[in-house]
Amino acid sequence: MTNTLSLIPSGIDTYRQAVVYMNEDCHICRAEGFSAQARIRIDLSDRWIIATLNVVARGGWLAVDEAALSTSGWEALGAQLGARGHFSHADVPFSASSIRAKAYGRRLDQNSFSAIIQDTLDNRLSDLHLAAFITSCAGDRLSESETVALTRAMQTAGETLDWGGAVVLDKHCVGGLPGNRTTPIVVAIIAAAGQLIPKTSSRAITSPAGTADTMEVMAPVALDADALRKVVELEGGCIVWGGGLNLSPADDHFIRIERPLDFDSTGQMVASVLSKKAAVGATHVLIDMPVGPTAKVRSTEAAAALGVRLKLVGAAIGLNVTLHQSDGSSPVGRGIGPSLEARDVLAVLRRAQEAPLDLRGRALDLAGKLLDLAPGARAGRGRREAEALLDSGAAEAKFLAICTAQGGFREPDAAAHRIEITAGVSGQLIAIDNRLIARIAKLAGAPRQKSAGVRLLARTGDQVIKGQPLYEIHAETPGELAYSAGYAESHSNVLTLSEAAK
C-alpha cells in the first residue's frame, strides 16, 4: 500500500489531541497535498484516529518514510514499534457547518448540538473547530433553549448512573474563588449523615486547583464507573475525577480548549455542570455562587441571571436545583494550590486549632443546606446536624474511609522552595485580588505541580506593618519560584492596603 508510513512515537504530550508529524518531503505529504493543520485519518488494523498534521522541515529529526504520533495519538491507535499505518484525507465533519452557523449568530437545535458532541467524541473536530464553537457560545450567545439542548446532548452522549430511585445529593461551586475547597468536607459530612453523594469533580480550568487536583493529593481520583459505584455503595460518597468516567465525556474535550483560552461560557458552564450532575444520577443539586468584584460572578445581578438559567435547565432535565450565594470578595482559607488546599481541608476535618474558620463555616453552610434538601428533613436543622458530625469526628472518619475505598489516604507533600512577599507599607489589608493571587499560584506551578501555590499569611481586615509577610509562594523548583516571584513583585496591587496607610 503506497499510502502507508512506519509509525513511531514522538514522545510529545499534546494532552487529548491526536497529532501526527510528517517530513515535508514525505511522498504522502507531496502527493496528497497535506499541509500543516490538515486533518488526516490514520488506520491501523481495526483501529483508526483522526489527527492534526504538523510538518517537520527536511533534514530534521523525522525520516521521509516515518510518521510520528503524539502520546495521545499513539495510545488511541494502540500502535507498536514497527507498525505501518494507512493515511487518507479525513472527511469534513458534518457538524462543521453547524459551528459556522453558530459563529454567524444562528441558533442551533438539538440535532445540531448532538452532532457537534458526537464529532467531538470521535475526534473529527480539530482544536480550531472546538475553539470556534466555544467562542461562538461565549457570553450570552446561547439561548435558554440552546442551553437545554446542549446539556441533553452532553449527558446522553455518555452513561448515566442509576441508584435505584434513591435520593442522591450533589453540590457544585461555579468557581473563581481561590482556596474555596469545601467539597471534600461537605461530602464527608453528607456521607456521615447517611445520605448518598457520588461527587465527580473537574481538574482546574482557569484556577490553580480544581477539586479533583486537591483530592488527588490525598487519594486516587481516576476511578472508572464500576469502582465509583463500589466506593459509594460502601461509604455513601466519593470524590473522583469526572474525566476518568464516561459521564458527559465531551466535557473534558471542552475543558482542554477552555484552559488556554482562560474563560468559561455561561451557557456551556451550565451545560457542563448540569449534564454531569444528571449523568452521575443526582436528584437534588446545590449550586454555590460566590459573588465578588474579582470572582467569576461579579455582581448579585449576574448571579441572579445565572441562577435563573441553572434552575430552568435543571428543571428541564429533571434536577431539583437550589442556589446559594456566598461572599466572593477574597480567597477562602490559607492555601491556594492542590497540596496547600488539601492541608486546609484536613485541618478543618481534624478540628485543628489552626483550621481556617472561613472554610469551615462555608462547608457547614453548604452541608446544612444539602441536608435540608433531603426528603423528610426538618427545614433549618441541617446546619446543626452538619456541625455535630464535624465536631464529633464522624466527618473525619468518613473522609478517611472514602479515601481508603478509593485506593488509600496519603498526607499532602510540602514544596521544597518558598519565598515570602512582604508589605511595602503599614496599614489595614482591605482587599485581595482573586485573579492576581491565583495567577501567582499558577506561575509557581499549580496545579500541575501539586505542592506549588500560595499560602496567605494575612487576611482582609488585618492590620499589618511594613516588612510583615503577606503571603508565601511555594514552588517545586527554584526557576518556578523566581518566575512567580517576579510577577508578584511587579504587581503591587495583588493585596490592597488602606489609603490612610499610603
HSE-CB at 350 with a 13 A cutoff on CA atoms is 12
What cell numbers appear for 32 in the block?
496528497
Q: Which amino acid makes up residue 76?
A: A
Query: Quick one: 263 exposed, middle or buried, by C-beta within 10 A (0-12, 13-18, 19+)?
Result: middle
Please state, in angstroms and rounded to a whole number, the distance separating the CA atoms of residues 348 and 395.
Answer: 10
**Closest of 171, 108, 99 to residue 142, by C-alpha:** 108
Please tell me whether the peptide bond between 293 and the residue prior to it is cis, using omega within 30 degrees of 0: no
> Hey, which residues are catalytic here?
264
Please state, in angstroms and rounded to a whole number, the distance separating the CA atoms of residues 445 and 453.
Answer: 7
- H or E element, residue 238: strand 237-241
Question: How far from chain centre, in Å, is Cα 237?
Answer: 20
Please state, in angstroms and rounded to a whole number, the distance separating the CA atoms of residues 216 and 339.
Answer: 9
What cell numbers appear for 347 in the block?
485541618
What cell numbers appear for 241 in the block?
475525577
Cα→Cα distances 151→243, 277, 327, 407, Å: 17, 10, 28, 32
**Closest of 133, 91, 141 to residue 113, by C-alpha:** 133
Q: What is the largest CA-CA distance in the chain?
A: 79
**Closest of 343, 347, 359, 353 to residue 472, by C-alpha:** 343
DSSP codes of every residue in 169-238:
EEEEE----TT---HHHHHHHHHHTT-BEEEEEPPPSSSS--HHHHHHHHS-----HHHHHHHHHHHSEE
Question: How far from chain centre, in Å, is Cα 156?
Answer: 21
Say if residues 240 and 228 touch (Cβ distance below 8 Å). yes
Cell 496607610: give the residue.
501
- H or E element, residue 471: strand 469-475
Please state, in angstroms and rounded to a whole number, the distance separating the CA atoms of residues 216 and 244.
Answer: 13
Query: Quick one: 34 exposed, middle or buried, by C-beta within 10 A (0-12, 13-18, 19+)?
Result: buried
Any alpha helices (H) in 60-143, and if so which ranges? 71-77, 96-103, 110-121, 127-136
Please state, in angstroms and rounded to a whole number, the distance separating the CA atoms of residues 298 and 329.
Answer: 9
